Amino acid sequence: MTAATMTGGGRIRALRLFRKTGGLIVSVAVTLLGLLLVTFLIGRVVPVDPVLAMVGDRASQSTYDAAYHQLGLDKPLVEQFLIYVKNVLSGDLGESVLTKNPITTDIRTVFPATLELATFGVLIGTLVGIPLGIWAAVRKGRLADQAVRVIGLIGYSAPIFWLGLMGLLLFYAKLGWTPGPGRIDVTYQYDLPDDGTGFLLYDAAMAGEWEAFWNVAAHLVLPACLLGYYSMAYISRMTRSFMLNELAQEYIITARVKGAPEWRIIWVHALRNAAVPLVTVVALSYAGLLEGSVLTETVFAWPGLGMYLTNSLQNADMPAVLGCTLVIGTIFVAINLLSDLLYNVLDPRVRRRGK
């Protein structure tokens, strides 16, 4: 092979990579622009007057007109959208009517609580759901398979707020195994540094406040297990489906004919191939917990993004509602993009098609 041929092949691969990267960037940009458009239109069609929410029902007409002009509502709709996009790109999501703080500041304050809860929830769901799904696939049609499917069906179909209320009633009110709602008891709240990260487990550990650490961990157990159960139901069902598909492939039959141990066939050969689409499943489940923990946080009085969004809805704080919606949508797009990139890295067939 000549140097010219190698150079030409390198140029072709670089061109393909450039096209693929450019297409990905354009796709993400269009998606985010569509998200901005949807949130902007929601803010204009909901039956809530943002001016009245700002100045109150008893404000004079002159005050109302001044606020109307300040919000830019007297401008054409297209110009309002362009101003909205410019503000968002500069990190300005507006000011909360309820707290009078910049929405970015409020979200930065409450988001660590949601991230901490969702992370432990998806870890529980993954560590329990994948083995259960594998077990159900290996014992297809047997009692174990039926039991796993029923457990998953309950977790996937039961209202999550009802599960939260039943969990509090049983484990907190009746048995006293877990603390009540909230993220930390008032007794330990002031033991943590004011300039912490917002991740209370980390802050308590770094400050050496181990009693506060275990108190935070105890409050985290019940809501994290609840979200983990919800996540496990989805992950176990998808794992079972992927494993059944892999166990029916010819390479599995060949491995059994050659006398390979059954544990190796299941946990090495089949699971390795099923793990590629499972990355996407786990990533989407994580995104779902980040955006769907509103009811859980409300039931457990968890001071995260979901509770902040609920309070904003109840007080007609539409700038905060739209800011939360935009942040949640961006997180979902980012995690979906990350799962696609991991899929391309882990699946050699995708890599070969890109060459």
Per-residue pLDDT at 353 exceeds 60? no
pLDDT for residue 347: 63
pLDDT for residue 328: 83
Q: Residue 346 — pLDDT band, cuts 50, 70, 90? A: low
Per-residue pLDDT at 351 exceeds 70? no
Domain ranges, ordered by start, for the chain: 103-353
Listing DSSP states for 188-202 in one string gives HHTTS-TTS-S-HHH
Find, among 308, 340, 334, 336, the residue nearest to 322 by Cα. Answer: 308
pLDDT for residue 13: 63
Per residue in 10-58, pLDDT tens? Answer: 566 666 666 766 666 777 778 888 878 887 787 777 666 677 766 767 7
Per residue in 144-180, pLDDT tens? Answer: 889 988 988 888 788 888 888 898 898 988 888 888 8
User: What b/e readout covers 195-217, taking b as 16+ CB neighbours within 10 angstroms?
Assistant: eeebbbbebbeeeebeebbebbe
For residues 205-224, average pLDDT: 90
Tell if the pTM clears 0.75, that is, is over it: yes
Q: Residue 214 — pLDDT band, cuts 50, 70, 90? A: very high
pLDDT for residue 16: 65
Structure tokens at 341: 């990139």
Distance CA 349, CA 31 (A): 27
List of residues 6+ apart from 31 with CB closer than 8 A = 333
Q: Is the Cβ–Cβ distance between 331 and 107 less than 8 Å? A: no
- Range in 114-118, 135-139, 267-271 with the lowest mean pLDDT: 267-271
Per-residue pLDDT at 288 exceeds 70? yes
Look up the CATH number of domain 103-353: 1.10.3720.10
pLDDT for residue 319: 82
Cα end-to-end distance, the chain, whole Å? 18
pLDDT for residue 191: 79
Distance CA 224, CA 259 (A): 42
Per-residue pLDDT at 196 exceeds 90? no
Listing DSSP states for 90-113 in one string gives TT---B-TTT-SBHHHHHHHHHHH
pLDDT for residue 350: 53
Per residue in 294-319, pLDDT tens? Answer: 788 888 988 888 888 888 877 777 78
pLDDT for residue 128: 93
For residues 253-277, average pLDDT: 83
Q: Is the Cβ–Cβ distance between 165 and 222 less than 8 Å? A: no
As beta bridge partners, residue 102 has 95
Q: Residue 7 — pLDDT band, cuts 50, 70, 90? A: low
Percent of the chain with pLDDT over 90: 14
Query: Between residues 195 and 4, which one has the greater pLDDT?
Result: 195
Distance CA 154, CA 227 (A): 13
Cα-based angle 329, 237, 327 (whole degrees, multiple of 5): 10
Mean pLDDT of the chain: 82
pLDDT for residue 79: 83
pLDDT for residue 97: 78
pLDDT for residue 155: 83
pLDDT for residue 6: 46
Neighbours of 3 (CB within 10 A): 7
pLDDT for residue 14: 65
323, exposed or middle or buried, with CB in 10 Å at 0-12, 13-18, 19+?
Answer: buried
